[in-house]
Amino acid sequence: MMKVATGTTGIRLVTAMGCIALLASLTMMSGCRTTPPRRYYTLSYPINRDNATLSRPPLHSIQLRVKPFSVGLPYDRPQIVYRQSPFEFQYYAYQLWAAKPQKMLRELVLSHLEASRLAGDVTQEYGERYPDYELSAEVLAVEEYDSGPVWYGHLEMRFQLVRFRDKIVLWTYHFDRKRKVYEKQPVYVVRALSQILAEEMEHITAELDRVISTDRNVPVTLNVPRPSGDADETPDTVKIAPAQPKPEGERTYPGAPNWDELLIVPDGPPVELPPEPEQPDEG
């Protein structure tokens, strides 16, 4: 016959066994929770590289430098931003950019301008001589915008063209567009953002041709009207709705990393201008 422990020693033994069983149960429960996989997204759209355009001379025999794009601090991080209110930023834990959004946008703008043959040389860096013009851009918003059951891709940018020799601003352009997403997944938000940029770049390229042609006193070649945005929702038409919870994988869980403590990696030291070329002696 099995004896049951009694007294103070028996109570301690039973309590210890209960604690061990509880710890084992918690360990098994935590082991069943799986961490969602991280997904990485890139901004991209097909750039028209037809043979007729690539084989013709450039519209302008100039050098155009595309400067590094600046970006608002809330977007200068790897997590994709989503907002359910104009007053609060939120970040996906596992939906990440493959590179900083301002860098991907700059690469797309550069590739588009190269394929359009707008300038004889489109570059990111200073070469053996100074560029004739510099194009800069500020990324004001690149995000998912949620309005109740409807999601939008929201892209807002401001461009500026400067004549390099005297630093005169020749042209500025600003757009702020939201496009409805019919599948509520981040990949479709990224596609909507890419489509907005593709449409805007057709107009921006034509605008650059117009401004540079006027500055150089030559005929304008391109003529692309500003995108109407008929497929978009403007910021004024998007109504704020009660916040909706994100999928289970995006919620906070025990042991989840604190994304707010991630360091924002700088783009690098400021670019220094090359030294002025030496002038020949007149004497």
Residues 6+ apart with CB under 8 A from 86: 240
33 — pLDDT class (breaks 50, 70, 90): low
Q: Token digits for 139?
A: 């990324």
Structure confidence at residue 242 (pLDDT) = 44
Domains and CATH numbers, the chain: 35-250 (3.40.50.10610)
For residue 153, the tally of other CB atoms under 10 A from its CB is: 24
Percent with pLDDT over 70 in the chain: 69
Query: Is residue 102 over pLDDT 80?
Result: yes
According to the model, what pLDDT value does residue 26 have? 52
Burial class of residue 227, CB neighbours in 10 A (0-12, 13-18, 19+): middle
